[in-house]
Amino acid sequence: MARLVSVNVGTPKDVQWRGKTVHTGIWKAPVHGPVMVRRLNIDGDGQGDLAGHGGEQRAVLVYQLESYDYWKAHLRRDDLRPAHFGENFTVSGLSDRDVCIGDRYRIGDAEFEVTQPRVTCFRVGMRLGEPAMPNLLVAHHRPGFYFRVITEGQVQAGDAIVLTRRGPHELSVADVDALLYLPDRDMAQLRKAVDVPALSPGWQQSFHDMLTQSSGAPATPTMGVEPGWTGFRPLRVSAIRHETASVLSIRFESDDGAPLPMPLPGQYLTVRIPDAGDPPPMRSYSLSGDPAARDYRISVKRESHGLVSRWLHAHVNVGSIIEAAIPRGDFCLTDGSTPVVLISAGIGATPVLAMLHALAATNSNRPITWLHTTRNAETHAFAAEVTGLITSLPDARQFVFYTASKQSGSGATLGRLDRQSIAALNLPGDAAVYLCGPGPFMDAMRDGLAACGFSSGQIHTELFGALPAINPGVVSASKTARPHPPPGTPGPGPAITFARSGLTVNWAPGYASILELAETCDVPTRFACRSGVCHTCVTGIVAGTPTYLQPPLEEPPLGTVLICCAAPRDDLVLDL
């Protein structure tokens, strides 16, 4: 019979790791005597990162004594003891290949239900001093699993573990873990997995997305996009136009006159300016024109400290040559029949303007609302263009807010677009909302929309510059430091350009991965496992070729790389 060998608890603490401070509860220790298990936790226990651990679906982490024996042999270590893997319950029995999602067990006075495999996280590697441990746990089918507490009660080491109910479809923990993290998935098992009520909501959603993608349709259906090119290609400036004193629109055509591939409405163009410096600086600008126009238009606001924007305003002319990567980005208008709300501030109008063009080109009968805020009539770019598009659509309206003007003009309202003004507009509750502007503006808009009943799934956002970091548990990372070269002598290796951050540095062999180099440079990064499992760090490749220092368990999509386990093979430009 399976038994509870050890009950382990520990409260979160700050741990120094690779020059960072990580707030984590993975350091646990066995306790003696009866311990109370409650719906969200065990008395005396805690988690440092509640986004990935803890909560109702992950109240108790379980790991097996048999897996300890396995890792002792595999890692050639004799120092592993209960709680080293961060588990709350060390058990004898309950193999990951035998325990199924939805199984229920009685232990002591309490009853538990299996909800999901353990989350692949770098902290288990940090705790054991084995950075590849998250990868190994999945690859060797020994992840461990979480319990949900059905009945609260006391447990203690030595208690018998009694199966009280088998989960539907009898999908083992190891099988479900492989469905999420390993290639060559069994679609029949995926369909069974989403039919297990006990499976945690996050895993349910991931499997639903996989099933949608396997059916041949993208998880979020989008308007068609044509194949493009790899790396950078020359584009010729075909026209320029001053939208306002500080906003310049630039049209590009292919250098050979052939039509350019059609972008998705909302995507951006990464441009490199050969004549503006060495190395040539690059920036990304949203495409602001009609996606079906067969040429590209960007609209650039001149910034006082913007090297590229100032150069373009001062030097670009018809006939100028720049280099560009294929349009990219996930902030895109989706097909459908639901109402559309397009919200922007200042130059943030550019991607949603492309969406409005796409809707007008198809004479869409979707209810459309355009909301825009700017300082005054002098800074109001695209005013006539937007009005013409709104007028051409059968069910469209616009509202413009001037925040620093004494005269409204052009039907604009004096004041700010805020929670009260959003509520007064009676926006359709089932609308898809597309939002672009400076960070504080978008934060305020999200709060206002949420107060009006819009869910996070309805609100699609685009940020200027770097993506927000995802660094679970890291509490010492600088939130204000600008990206910068690493200290010391530049490395001898290929150049790596972080396009969103506007930084080019050279690779040095001392770095364990591109992720580690990016962290050294204070480039905002995203990671969870740091060993090629979870795909949190997946990053678009603008140009160049990476190589893997440690092969990931599953290759990411074409044109992307997992930076947590990769290095550059040649000069590399990343969408980071």
CATH number at residue 255: 2.40.30.10
Whether the CB-CB separation of 378 and 245 falls below 8 Å is answered with: yes
Higher-confidence residue of 354 and 405: namely: 354
CA geometry: angle 132, 133, 135, nearest 5 deg: 70
Model confidence band, residue 465 (pLDDT cutoffs 50, 70, 90): low
pLDDT band for position 216 (cuts 50, 70, 90): low
Q: Is residue 222 over pLDDT 70?
A: no
Task: Assess if residue 399 is contained within a domain.
Answer: yes
Residue 467 lies in a domain: no
Average pLDDT over residues 80-97: 96
Answer whether residue 76 shows pLDDT above 50. Answer: yes
495: in domain: yes
Report the C-alpha gap between 96 and 112 in whole angstroms. 16
Residues 275-280 have a mean pLDDT of: 81
The phi and psi torsions of 3 (rounded to 5 degrees) equal -135, 155
Flag whether pLDDT at 468 surpasses 80.
no
Distance CA 217, CA 60 (A): 37
The yes-or-no verdict on residue 330 having pLDDT over 90 is no
Q: Please check whether residues 521 and 444 belong to one and the same domain.
A: no
Same domain, 102 and 133: yes
Identify the DSSP state of 564. Answer: G
Q: Can you tell me the distance from the alpha carbon of 372 to that of 126, in angstroms, rounded to the nearest whole number?
A: 47
Q: Which of 479, 480, 520 is nearest to 496 (CA)?
A: 520
Judge whether residue 219 has pLDDT over 50: no
Domain count of the chain?
Answer: 4
For residues 351 and 382, membership in a common domain is answered with yes
168: which DSSP letter?
Answer: G
> 394 pLDDT exceeds 90?
yes
Q: What is the pLDDT of residues 5-61, one digit of tens each?
A: 999 999 999 999 888 899 999 999 999 999 999 999 999 999 887 777 788 999 999
> Could you tell me if 111 and 81 are in contact, meaning their C-beta atoms sit under 8 angstroms apart?
no
Residues 482-530: pLDDT tens digits?
889 999 888 999 999 998 888 899 999 999 999 999 999 999 898 999 9
Residue 407: per-residue pLDDT: 66
84 and 164 share one domain: yes
Average pLDDT over residues 120-140: 94
> How much is the average pLDDT of 372-384?
94
Q: Distance of CA 240 to CAs 249, 319, 347, 485, Å?
A: 6, 10, 17, 34
What's the whole-number mean pLDDT along residues 254-271?
90
Beta pairing partners, 72:
none
More confident residue, 379 or 413: 379
What CATH number did the domain enclosing 432 receive? 3.40.50.80
Same domain, residue pair 7 and 116: yes
Helices (H), 17-107: 65-75
226 belongs to a structural domain: no
Boundary-marking domain end, from 462, 494, 519: 462
Q: Is the dihedral of CA 317, 323, 325, 326 positive or negative?
A: positive
Does the pLDDT value for residue 409 go beyond 70?
no
The CA distance from 114 to 61, in Å, is 10
Angle (CA) 13-17-18 rounded to 5° is 160
What pLDDT score does 433 carry? 96
123 and 54 together in one domain: yes
CA 557, chain centre distance (Å): 15
In terms of average pLDDT, the best of 277-286, 337-346, 434-443 is: 337-346
224 lies in a domain? no
Q: Assess whether pLDDT exceeds 70 at residue 408.
A: no
pLDDT tier at 374 (50, 70, 90 boundaries)? very high
Residues 184 and 74 in one domain: yes
Q: Over 80: is that where the pLDDT of 411 sits?
A: no
Tokens of 205: 């959603």
Q: Look at residue 217 in the predicted model and tell me its pLDDT.
A: 46
Domain boundary among 418, 434, 462: 462
Q: What is the pLDDT of residues 521-572, one digit of tens each?
A: 999 898 999 999 999 999 999 999 999 999 999 999 888 999 999 999 999 9
Q: Do residues 241 and 288 share a domain?
A: yes
Six-digit token string for 384: 């006539």
What gap in Å lies between CA 50 and CA 388, rounded to an integer?
49
* pLDDT over 70 at 477, yes or no: no
Same domain flag for 456 and 512 = no
Q: What is the CATH number of the domain that holds 91?
A: 2.40.33.20
Share of the chain above pLDDT 70, in %: 95
Answer yes or no: do 99 and 200 share one domain.
Answer: yes
Q: Do 177 and 138 share a structural domain?
A: yes
Burial-class residue 440 by CB neighbours within 10 Å (0-12, 13-18, 19+): exposed
Does one domain contain both 490 and 344?
no
Who has greater pLDDT, 463 or 86? 86
Q: For residue 69, tell me if it sits in a domain.
A: yes
Domain that holds residue 11: 3-215
* Residue 329 pLDDT grade (very low, low, confident, very high; cuts 50, 70, 90): confident
45 located within any domain: yes
pLDDT of residue 119 exceeding 90: no
**C-alpha angle 161/162/168, rounded to 5°?**
120
d(CA 101, CA 116): 6
User: Looking at 215, 242, 266, which one is the last position of a domain?
Assistant: 215
Distance, in Å, from the CA atom of 146 to the CA atom of 133, rounded to the nearest integer, reads: 18
| pLDDT above 90 as % of the chain | 73
Whichever domain contains 530, its CATH number is 3.10.20.30
Phi, psi of 446 (to 5 degrees): -60, -40
Average pLDDT value over all residues in the chain:
91
Decide if 316 is inside a domain.
yes
- Rounded-to-integer distance, Cα 464 and Cα 350, Å: 11
pLDDT surpasses 70 at 410: no
